[in-house]
């Protein structure tokens, strides 16, 4: 892991940076914490899903603690969010795009690693999704916010799709960099369409009715 970067490692580090930036900005926008809080939330967002994945796989210590590049990239993303928050706060869509990149990459690398460790197809899909949404879920819990995975319909679903494509490609013996990129792009596109058109998975009818009447929030 400490040699020359492979294409998949580059993708993994890209996802780490994107999530760190997103987590740092969330810390600035929502939690309004100091630099320690921004670093903490940024790095948890970036590395939380991978740590959960590796612990569940028994691959300990997790990769994020064996390879200094993960820590460096995550810290860099969080510090950039802190230093340029005044500018990045105006760039909502670019940040959503970066978040979608992190979601896509981690879904693919998580499912791929699960298959590599001998898990079955269903378990690999679940673990790929956990890798993608885990860090953001921990972040949201720390700032007392309902996790995005529970109230944004097109958040976990794109991750599930990407993980499924990865597993199918692996079982068909055609998995590689090209297949990984295709799976990540599909996930990214679904997520961006959801963000742009404000799409969600179906909600309970009673909750939707109350929201339309203006008497109860729907979690958006």
153, two tokens = 């319909």
**Predicted confidence pLDDT, tens digits, the chain (220 residues):** 454 467 667 877 888 998 998 888 888 877 778 899 999 999 999 999 999 999 999 999 998 899 999 999 999 999 998 888 777 666 667 777 878 888 999 999 999 999 999 999 999 999 999 999 999 899 989 988 888 787 766 889 999 999 999 999 999 999 888 898 899 999 999 999 988 888 877 777 766 544 444 444 444 3
pTM: 0.84
Residues 6 or more apart in contact with residue 92 via CB below 8 angstroms:
none
Q: Are 75 and 44 in contact (CB under 8 A)?
A: no
Structure token pair of residue 216: 């109860």
Q: Where do the domains of the chain lie? A: 7-213
Q: Looking at residue 92, what is its pLDDT?
A: 67
CB 170 within 8 A of CB 115: yes
152 Cβ neighbours under 8 A, 6+ residues apart: 194, 200
**What pLDDT shows up at residue 211?**
46
pLDDT digits (tens, 9 = 90+) for 61-74: 998 899 999 999 99
32: left (phi over 0), alpha (psi -120 to 50) or beta: left
Two structure tokens written together for 193: 């369409």
Distance CA 143, CA 145 (A): 6
Q: What is the pLDDT of residue 27?
A: 85
Handedness of CA 14, 20, 26, 28 (dihedral sign): negative
Q: Give the per-residue pLDDT at 125.
A: 96
Instruction: Report pLDDT digits (tens) over 76-107.
Output: 999 998 888 777 666 667 777 878 888 999 99
Distance CA 47, CA 65 (A): 10
């Amino acid at each position: 892991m400490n040699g020359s970067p492979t294409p998949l490692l580059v993708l993994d580090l890209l996802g780490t940076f994107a999530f760190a930036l997103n987590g740092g900005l969330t810390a600035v926008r929502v939690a309004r914490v100091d630099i320690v809080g921004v670093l903490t939330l940024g790095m948890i967002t970036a590395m939380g899903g991978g740590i959960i994945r590796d612990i569940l796989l028994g691959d300990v210590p997790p990769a994020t603690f064996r390879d200094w590049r993960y820590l460096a990239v995550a810290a860099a993303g969080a510090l950039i969010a802190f230093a340029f928050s005044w500018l990045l706060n105006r760039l909502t869509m670019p940040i959503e795009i970066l978040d979608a990149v992190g979601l896509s990459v981690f879904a693919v690398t998580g499912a791929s690693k699960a298959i590599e460790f001998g898990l079955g197809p269903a378990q690999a899909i679940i673990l790929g999704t956990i890798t993608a949404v885990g860090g953001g879920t921990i972040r949201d819990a720390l700032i007392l916010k309902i996790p995005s995975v529970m109230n944004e319909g097109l958040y976990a679903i794109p991750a599930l799709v990407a993980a499924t494509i990865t597993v199918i490609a692996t079982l068909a013996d055609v998995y590689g960099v090209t297949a990984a990129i295709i799976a990540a792009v599909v996930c990214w596109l679904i997520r961006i369409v959801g963000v742009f058109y404000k799409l969600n998975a179906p909600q309970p009818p009673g909750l939707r009715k109350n929201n339309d009447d203006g008497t109860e929030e729907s979690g958006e």
